[in-house]
Structure 1
Amino acid sequence: MSSTTALVVGAGAGGVAVAARLAKNGFQVTVVEKNRDIGGRCSMVNDNGYRFDQGPSLLLMPEYFREIFEDLDTTMETEGVELRKCDPNYRIWFSDRDTLDVTTDLVKMKSQIERYEGKSGFDGFLRFLVEAGRHYNLSSEHVLRKNFPSLSSMLRPDLVLVLWKLHPFESIYSRVSRYYRSEKLRQAFTFASMYLGMNPFEAPGTYSLLQYTEFADGIWYPVGGFKTVIDALSRVGTRLGVKYRLNSPVSSIALSTDSKSVTGIYLESGELLESDLVIVNADLTYAYNNLLPRTAYAESLEQRHTSCSCISFFWSFNTTIPALQSHNVFLADEYRASFDAIFKHNTIPVHPSFYVHVPTRLDPSVAPRGMDAMVILVPVGHLGRRPLPGKENVKETNTHWDEIVSNTRRLVLNTIESRTGASLRDRLIAEKIETPLTWREKYNLDRGSILGLSHSFFNVLSFRPKICHPVIEGLLFVGASTHPGTGVPVCLAGSKIITVQYVVTTFGN
């Protein structure tokens, strides 16, 4: 086993995780990363003493994080990862200045639910949690820990027997509406589909599992930023023998003369790295269309439904903004129309819903003393297909996006100030920005989609791109657009599926 080599292309969460797992099982592993640091979308943004999570900023489904460290014979605590519980989980700000604090404190939730639903409302809340918990537990058992290499995999008796209980053919909004009469509560319990970059009026009802884990397990924040978790995994991997090569973009995957097996990778520098196994943690659609010979299947991936993109603002303030919690959600008055703009018209809502994270509430070290760091994520439509050189669509130029960013900034500031009563403009001293263009450029994300392919029913299970290339032996995929799907904990689950399949099944260890 010690002579078996593996190359991992990309040092995002899935890549770092699978590298450590393979190294523990005796592989000689090298991770190749195009950027100057690991983490991918879990990277940190630094700006003159302020630090921001570039991507995920709340830790959900903690059992999957604990599991990978335990599988590597350690714990998060041993590796220096400190998690702090968010309380409340987040505050929802409605357009009429009403607020709802979503919390694991059921006494507080009861009084808030009854404010909207009356005395019988809490019973509906509990029944919703039972259904959402069933979705979570069944998904964990039958989807997130299983491989689906073919359509026949979906006919496994255990899955067939429970599939109807997952409500995959009803939307989250439809399922939630069975338990709440209040439109505000329907919005409060459906917007989390945006964790998957999906429209709550289209996302399968299965994904109410996200609300369940928020209530059952809470929302957590890693002190120092989400990247501390990835850094800890990389340190464990390094102890196990994993080597990292940064600033090393890959130009193509090297194949045998008959193109039936992988032999390594070529770097843009021209260097060939040979290997028995290649695991791609780069964006899957990008990899199929740019690192491998083009095929009809590769081109079809560019036509599949994909997640939305977003504009991210990273704001530094010269004081604190006490009106805001650690996590805040500002919901548009025209809730459904705002999602239609993104997912049906692939544009930017006139009045968007957006998320605001103030990490200094739980971790004062991310900003100078007495000051606030703030991250704003505004979901927007994704880009078109990657243009050929010199053929860029005028709507995707930097000038076009500069105008959109300016308008979006104004909308966000107006919304926060009007709903909270706080003054932001005269306290904002620095800003960094990400747009769909920069997401595509930095991380080769197809169409700038921040969460990969959509999680609609015909984009999951056996319909989702496989973890093993269907033709090329020794080529595997881990990350958002392959099975089991998007989100850091789900990508961690994917790293285990790969390791079990290849270490136990293929190599017999």
Structure 2
Amino acid sequence: MKNQPESVTVIGAGVAGLATAALLAREGKRVTVVDKLTELGGRAGSLSVDGFRWDTGPSWYLMPEAFDHFFELCGTTTAAELNLVDLAPAYRVFDDRGRTTDVHTGVEEAARLFESIEPGAGARLRNYLAQATDVYNVALRRFLYTTFSTARELLTPDVRAQLKTLTRLLSRSLESHVNASFTDHRLRQILSYPAVFLSSEPAAAPALYSLMSHTDLVEGVRYPLGGFAAVVDAIARQARAAGVEFILGTQVTGIETAGGRATGVRVVDANGPRTIAADTVVSSADLHHTETTLLPPELRSYPEPYFADRNPGLGTVLVLLGVKGELPELAHHNLLFSQDWDPDFRAVYHGPEPERELGASRSIYVSKTSATDPDVAPADHENLFVLIPVPADTAVGHGDAYREGASARVEAIADAAVAQIGSWAKIPDFAQRVVVRRTLGPADFAERYHAWRGGAIGPAHTLSQSAFFRGKNVSAKVAGLYYAGATTVPGVGVPMCLISAENVVKRLRGDRSAQPLPATSRP
């Protein structure tokens, strides 16, 4: 067991920062969390306007094991902290030909759907999901709860037993893997769109990420009442119960070092600049910001040239709508897919794309949280969260959720999305029924969350940016400086952020294993 610090400062009060603080405080550390915003949650934010409340970040509750394990480490349970609702259908898919497809959880339910669309596809889906489940379980045991400190953990018997499969899945794209088994574009899209959850695209994400279909089609899709704001509150409760101190509305301007070791952070608030001393610093801020803004050049493990050929993932324009009257045409989760979505991905990742003049995808996501949660909209109104993928580029502009007025391009993208929803979902008066509208763009993500290039989720999960290729969660040049969150290992998404927090604990303990910590574990 390594000698451990007594005091820790965590930069950032998003999911990863809150979870890291909670776990380290339970290790007996004095933990202080500092965030520039005045509210908790970071990218998992919340906005309320005129009786409507929207989550402004994550909206899919997947990988329940990660939540369960985190709460167990905190001495509680998911059931005690969150009220989860199973969604049926799990989601609804619309295409540009006016067809809708409801996708339900369960191997047999999904197999029947696939068979009804493409004869023979049901049996092929059962095989596909069986492999996805096997790979998911190997990943959970070996590739997520690890700091990749030793190769020995990658050569265990269960990994060797799957080595041929893993090698094949790493050597081809998710797109080619799916297309080899299914012909109908709707089925291909259902199985390959999860690449977007990984801030990537089907043609660039390794087929290993077919494991994502285990999370929605096998495990199922749930919704926490209160949205992800309730998830943030639940994680924050664990931190507060463990004695974590929060300093909000305070900008971290630098990481203090002495003799090559982190000694605290420099901050500025309404009273001016000051220093917060600490034995250890954990930055859950964007890695690019941490390295290139908070550290001097000679102490950067990941200097600016490192990011030059990295893929920042996708940007988004978010459109938050309050709509008068009910919208039975929409389910809780809705995916609107262009039948030919190649121009959509080219616009986002390889633009400019002539077929997408606004530089935005027409394959978009719509969440009607009011379908499940009665507290997010006034009576006889609906609450919609609309996500339009765009390039990770601050030049796309900003919205009006946190500013006076939105950029012209963000407004145009929002207008197009509203028109698309009305047309594809066959709601002819949809635009006229919108009573509240707020928007966010990549510039908001850069300004509020220091997101590199205004990316919405984090660096794309391509082969060269996955697992140990994604970097380390510890500085190579500053002792006592660690990283957590979506921009480091294991990756993007709320479950990965929870796991990244646990991996910081393991790094501090000197634990080189690849398994989750036992719930009763203490240093």
TM-score (norm 2): 0.89
Cα RMSD (Å) of the superposition? 2.3
**Structure 1 residues 332 and 9, CA gap change in structure 2 (3 angstroms):** same
Whole-Å separation in 2 of the counterparts to 1:169 and 1:349: 30
Contact conserved, 1:85 with 1:220, CA < 8 A, in 2? yes
The amino acid of 1:481's aligned partner reads: T
1:93 paired residue number: 94
1:139 paired residue number: 139
- Deviation sequence 1:329-366 (CA, Å, 0-9, x none): 00013211211121122675566110000000110111
Whole-Å separation in 1 of the counterparts to 2:292 and 2:360: 34
Return 5+ residue gaps in structure 2 as ranges. 513-521
The amino acid of 2:8's aligned partner reads: A
Whole-Å separation in 1 of the counterparts to 2:324 and 2:183: 43
Indicate yes or no: 2:371 matched with 1:369: no
**Structure 1 residues 100 and 48, CA gap change in structure 2 (3 angstroms):** same
Contact conserved, 2:90 with 2:333, CA < 8 A, in 1? yes
1:293 paired residue number: 296
Indicate yes or no: 2:415 matched with 1:405: no
Contact conserved, 1:32 with 1:246, CA < 8 A, in 2? yes
The amino acid of 1:415's aligned partner reads: Q
Cα distance, 1:435 vs structure 2: 0.2
Contact conserved, 1:339 with 1:349, CA < 8 A, in 2? no
Structure 1 counterpart SS, 2:375: helix
Contact conserved, 1:6 with 1:30, CA < 8 A, in 2? yes
Whole-Å separation in 1 of the counterparts to 2:164 and 2:283: 33
Indicate yes or no: 2:348 matched with 1:342: yes
Contact conserved, 1:346 with 1:380, CA < 8 A, in 2? no
- Deviation sequence 1:30-80 (CA, Å, 0-9, x none): 11111011111111111111011101112000010011101111112323x
Structure 2 counterpart SS, 1:311: strand
**Structure 1 residues 469 and 161, CA gap change in structure 2 (3 angstroms):** farther
- Deviation sequence 1:224-250 (CA, Å, 0-9, x none): 111211211111211111111110110
Which of 388, 400, 403 is residue 378 of structure 1 equivalent to? 388
Cα distance, 1:105 vs structure 2: 4.6
2:114 paired residue number: 113
Whole-Å separation in 2 of the counterparts to 1:276 and 1:338: 47
Structure 1 counterpart SS, 2:446: helix
1:125 paired residue number: 125
Contact conserved, 1:94 with 1:331, CA < 8 A, in 2? yes
Cα distance, 1:503 vs structure 2: 3.1
The amino acid of 2:434's aligned partner reads: L
1:321 paired residue number: 327
1:424 paired residue number: 430
Contact conserved, 2:4 with 2:509, CA < 8 A, in 1? no
Cα distance, 1:135 vs structure 2: 2.2
Which of 285, 309, 324 is residue 315 of structure 2 equivalent to? 309
Indicate yes or no: 2:367 matched with 1:357: yes
Alignment of 1:51-200 (within 5 A): 51-79=53-81, 81-106=82-107, 108-118=109-119, 120-149=120-149, 156=155, 159=159, 162-166=162-166, 167-200=169-202
Contact conserved, 2:301 with 2:475, CA < 8 A, in 1? no
The amino acid of 1:499's aligned partner reads: V
Whole-Å separation in 2 of the counterparts to 1:477 and 1:383: 24
**Structure 1 residues 398 and 222, CA gap change in structure 2 (3 angstroms):** closer
Alignment of 1:236-247 (within 5 A): 236-247=238-249
Indicate yes or no: 2:244 matched with 1:250: no
Indicate yes or no: 2:276 matched with 1:280: no
The amino acid of 1:133's aligned partner reads: T
Which of 464, 487, 498 is residue 492 of structure 1 equivalent to? 498
Return 5+ residue gaps in structure 1 as ranges. 385-392
Cα distance, 1:410 vs structure 2: 2.9
Say how many residue pairs are matched.
494
Whole-Å separation in 2 of the counterparts to 1:415 and 1:46: 25
Aligned residues: percent identity? Answer: 28
